Structure 1
Amino acid sequence: MTESRPDATAIAADMPFEKALEQLEDIVRRLEKGDVALDESVTIYERGEALKRHCEMLLKRAEARIQRITLTPDGRAEGVAPLDVD
């Protein structure tokens, strides 16, 4: 009989950035302490990788929404344009 356990890499699509980052920081602390069994270390490491990808995706989405204000030659606000983050 195989034991059914939730996928460690499954992340709720609606998990807010702050909650995902908090969980990721907790995983890092636990792994840095070094008192986690090998099997559990691998499982929580995989969870951490999934949380990291989720946070990166949320940050990219936020970056895409940021716009800069464009100005006329005399300094008045004219409109908005995508923010060039490069």
Structure 2
Amino acid sequence: MSNSKPEFTTAHRLPKGSLWKVKAELVGGTRLEGLSDLADTLPRVKISPEAFEALKGLRHRGETIREVVERLVFTATGQAHGEPR
């Protein structure tokens, strides 16, 4: 099973470090909306050193701690990983 991050190719140049969210699913693809306001950016979570060490043990190959937390939250809420919210 591959745990690689999904990728997409676009003809438009996107600014480095920019964040995007799905605005609409279309027949021919997906419309993305840029996140520019601080309120729109991904939330930050503070993790204790003990929790960090525990999360390191739960990582899949190539997965970051943030991705582990996200996966665990999706699992706990019964959502498929990456399913639109």
TM range (shorter): under 0.3
TM-score by length of 1: 0.25
Q: Which has the higher strand share?
A: 2
Larger Rg: 1
Higher-RCO chain (CA-CA 8 Å, sequence separation at least 6): 1
TM-score by length of 2: 0.26
Q: Which has the higher helix share?
A: 1
